[in-house]
């Protein structure tokens, strides 16, 4: 790893650590509230395959909505451009669990990264695959090179027991005809998908395929085409942070995706993928320290896509 990356990460980590953490841990999934909120890790993987991490970069956490990029990747890989008849590619300007725009757009989600967009993607995978739960896990195991990667039953059950908004969203879309399967089965798969656990090192490695033209870094295996990879990156840039996507593009300048577990992954095509984790979230549901750290990194390195 180029030593300038290391010193940039070290400086950004230290500077961010000095800030008062104004964020709050998500409590609407009770199991997520049990996490130690002082955790703070970062890991960068560059396209030469080397990496550098600091803090709690090797501690696993619930990746939550970050998994929505991986489920989109699998559905898009199989279904191709037809996928966009079920789902749009526009920023929502709303919170991740908002119901607001469903009525306006007749059950067509604004994009695949807000909750109901990812719920439609889960429905698509259930229709396309014999065993979506198993096959999606295998897909991510292969992509991440984590042979024992698994869903967390604890987190998934905890979310399921309190997932009133997601249940409402799924039923509402079904009423417009944009859910083919039974809502209970779609939601079960959605909660499992969100419960995947990884650490920052694993997450940054996994996402290098989107910095590498859709090819897995380790063996150059094609995951998706260059054009699909470009489009997924475009969606991450415009929709990856819900109602804070503009702010993330403005301050950080990278395609990225956040999760309510406090993780964020971002990448610079042709250069690197970086993952941060700090569980306390800002009012938009994005990691407070994670956003600040990434802003520091691209400011010091001048390695943003702009
Ligand atoms: N599982 C979470 C939910 O549906 C994912 C949300 C997120 O990470 N922003 O609410």
Entry pTM:
0.97
pLDDT at 97: 87
* Distance from Cα 64 to the centre of ligand 1, integer Å: 6
Per residue in 188-227, pLDDT tens?
A: 999 999 999 999 999 999 999 999 999 999 999 999 999 9
Indicate the residue among 168, 194, 220 that finishes a domain. Answer: 194
Q: C-alpha 289: how far from its chain's center?
A: 16
Assess if residue 291 is contained within a domain: yes
Residue set of the binding site for substrate: 65, 115, 159, 166, 190, 242, 260
Based on the fold, state whether residues 201 and 294 are members of the same structural domain.
Answer: yes
Average pLDDT score over residue span 152-158:
97
pLDDT at 138: 98
Q: How many domains does the chain contain in total?
A: 2
Indicate the residue among 179, 194, 209 that finishes a domain. Answer: 194
Average pLDDT score over residue span 54-65:
98
Residue-range definition of the domain harbouring residue 95: 65-194
Based on the fold, state whether residues 17 and 58 are members of the same structural domain.
Answer: yes
Main-chain dihedrals φ then ψ at residue 157, nearest 5 degrees? -65, -40
* Distance from Cα 142 to the centre of ligand 1, integer Å: 24
Q: Which residues of 203-219 are buried (b: 16+ CB within 10 A; e: fewer)?
A: bbbbbbbbbbbbbbbee
Q: Could you say which DSSP state residue 72 is in?
A: H
* Distance from Cα 253 to the centre of ligand 1, integer Å: 23
Indicate the residue among 150, 176, 194 that finishes a domain. Answer: 194
Q: Using a 6 Å cutoff on CB, does residue 96 contact ligand 1?
A: yes
Angstrom distance (rounded) from CA 250 to CA 258:
16
Assess if residue 144 is contained within a domain: yes
Q: Using a 6 Å cutoff on CB, does residue 273 contact ligand 1?
A: no
Average pLDDT across the chain, whole number: 96
Angstrom distance (rounded) from CA 52 to CA 7:
10
Q: Could you say which DSSP state residue 263 is in?
A: E
Q: What torsion do the CA atoms of 62, 65, 71, 77 make, to the nearest 10 degrees?
A: -130
Cβ(21)–Cβ(277) under 8 Å?
A: no
Q: Using a 6 Å cutoff on CB, does residue 97 contact ligand 1?
A: yes
Angstrom distance (rounded) from CA 242 to CA 15:
26
pLDDT at 78: 98
Q: Using a 6 Å cutoff on CB, does residue 166 contact ligand 1?
A: yes
- Whichever domain contains 218, its CATH number is 3.40.710.10
Q: Which atom of ligand 1 is nearest to the CA of 64?
A: 8
Is pLDDT above 90 for 4? no
Q: Using a 6 Å cutoff on CB, does residue 5 contact ligand 1?
A: no
pLDDT at 51: 96
Cβ(141)–Cβ(67) under 8 Å?
A: no
| ipTM rounded to 2 decimals | 0.95
Neighbour count for residue 93 (Cβ, 10 Å): 14
Q: Percentage of residues in the chain with pLDDT exceeding 70?
A: 100
């Amino acid at each position: 790893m180029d030593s300038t990356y290391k010193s940039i990460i070290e400086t950004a980590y230290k500077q961010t650590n000095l800030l008062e953490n104004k964020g709050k841990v998500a409590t609407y999934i009770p199991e997520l509230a049990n996490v130690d909120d002082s955790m703070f890790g970062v890991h960068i993987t560059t396209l030469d395959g080397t990496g550098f991490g600091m803090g709690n970069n090797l501690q696993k956490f619930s990746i939550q909505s970050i998994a929505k990029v991986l489920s989109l990747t699998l559905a898009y890989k199989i279904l191709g451009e037809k996928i966009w008849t079920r789902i749009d590619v526009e920023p929502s300007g709303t919170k991740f669990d908002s119901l607001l725009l469903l009525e306006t757009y007749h059950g067509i989600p604004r994009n695949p990264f807000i909750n109901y967009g990812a719920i439609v993607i889960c429905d698509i995978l259930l229709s396309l695959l014999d065993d979506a739960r198993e096959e999606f896990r295998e897909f991510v195991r292969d992509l991440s090179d984590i042979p024992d990667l698994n869903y967390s039953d604890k987190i998934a059950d905890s979310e399921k027991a309190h997932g009133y908004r997601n249940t409402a969203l799924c039923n509402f879309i079904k009423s417009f005809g944009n859910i083919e399967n039974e809502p209970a089965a779609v939601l079960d798969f959605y909660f499992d998908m969100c419960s995947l656990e990884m650490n920052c090192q694993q997450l940054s490695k996994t996402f290098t395929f989107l910095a590498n033209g859709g090819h897995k870094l380790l063996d150059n295996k094609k995951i998706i085409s260059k054009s699909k990879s470009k489009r997924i990156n475009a969606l991450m840039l415009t929709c990856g942070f819900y109602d804070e996507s503009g702010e993330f593009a403005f301050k950080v300048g990278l395609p990225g995706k956040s999760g309510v577990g406090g993780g964020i992954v971002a990448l610079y095509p042709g250069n690197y993928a970086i993952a941060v984790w700090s569980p306390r979230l800002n009012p938009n549901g994005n990691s407070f320290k994670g956003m600040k750290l990434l802003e520091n990194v691209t400011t010091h390195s001048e390695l943003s896509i702009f």
